[in-house]
Amino acid sequence: MPDKPLQIYINGKYYDKDDAKISVFDHGLLYGDGVFEGIRSYGGKAFKLEEHLDRLWYSARAIMLEIPISKAEMAQAVDKTLAVNGIQDGYIRVVVTRGAGTLGLDPNKCSHPRVIVIADSITLYPKEYYENGLTIITVSTVRNHPAALNPRIKSLNYLNNILAKIEGLQAGVIEALMLNHKGEVAECTGDNIFIVRRGKILTPPNEAGILEGITRAVVIDLARAAGIEVLETPLTKHDVYIAEECFLTGTAAEVVPVVKVDSRPIGPGKPGPITRDLMHRFRQLTRS
Ligand code: PMP
């Protein structure tokens, strides 16, 4: 018997994957006008769901998009979408678009936001990235100026990140470091960045123009609980080059070591002890 097709939630109803469609007049498509979240599930339960929904609501508020259901209803939709698809360890994508409007920009002409929940299996990074660490480069694409499009808004307009990703891929790496308009370290295309110097963990602050990563917050808490000092402080490429360790955090990647940046080995060029300790703690938290 063929597998049952993936069931996609759109505005309260479930559709087979191939029938899950929205209008070509949706401003999410025409203008990237909308917001989204990427959430992991472990053992059939969405990880840090409340935090993700809070961020979704803040993103929506920042673009004056009213999500047509409550947070409790959204949480139920996420749980049910996991359940109907029988997803245990998976990835959930929640999308809210401005809805169908005219060909003009005016968001007021879009009256019905679309709420979409997709729960699918997750494609994990190969194991060797966690064992041996990633090689990344700094790209020339500057992270969005916060006064133009604040990186704190997780909007459907991800071209800034995609352009950086293209630069990285063309250079043969799968993740790339972006600087902000001041030349400071901001974040990677889909992950936050941390370094270790003299046993302390350093990471750019929100003011550097970054997405306030949920995994970033979890890792900061884990490190502090383990007695490791964490500072949110502006960083330059120089700080990264002289770091003892470097690692990235993100919903899909979890905690992944970085061993080379711009052809320079970080520390001894191997995943460091603090990174490995945090990877272990993160695993314990999510797999227990
Ligand atoms: N920065 C960017 C630009 C991202 O897209 C993501 C992934 N959502 C992250 C950082 C990591 O955030 P989180 O830990 O919430 O997945």
Q: Burial, 211: exposed, middle or buried (Cβ in 10 Å; 0-12, 13-18, 19+)? A: buried
pLDDT attached to residue 1: 46
From the CB of 211, is ligand 1 less than 6 Å away? yes
pLDDT attached to residue 114: 98
At residue 139, what are phi and psi to the nearest 5 degrees?
-105, 165
Q: Residue 286 in contact with residue 42, Cβ under 8 Å? A: yes
203: β partners: 232
Domains of the chain: 7-121 (3.30.470.10), 127-287 (3.20.10.10)
Q: How far is the CA of 101 from the centre of ligand 1 (A)?
A: 29
Q: How far is the CA of 250 from the centre of ligand 1 (A)?
A: 5
pTM: 0.97
Of ligand 1's listed atoms, the one at least distance from the Cα of 37 is 8
Q: How far is the CA of 72 from the centre of ligand 1 (A)?
A: 23
pLDDT attached to residue 124: 83
Q: How far is the CA of 1 from the centre of ligand 1 (A)?
A: 38
From the CB of 59, is ligand 1 less than 6 Å away? no
118: β partners: 93
From the CB of 114, is ligand 1 less than 6 Å away? no
Q: Burial, 251: exposed, middle or buried (Cβ in 10 Å; 0-12, 13-18, 19+)? A: buried
Q: Burial, 111: exposed, middle or buried (Cβ in 10 Å; 0-12, 13-18, 19+)? A: exposed
- Average pLDDT of adjacent 10-residue blocks, the chain of 288 residues: 85 98 98 98 97 98 98 98 97 98 97 96 91 98 98 98 98 98 98 98 98 98 98 98 98 97 98 98 93
From the CB of 184, is ligand 1 less than 6 Å away? no
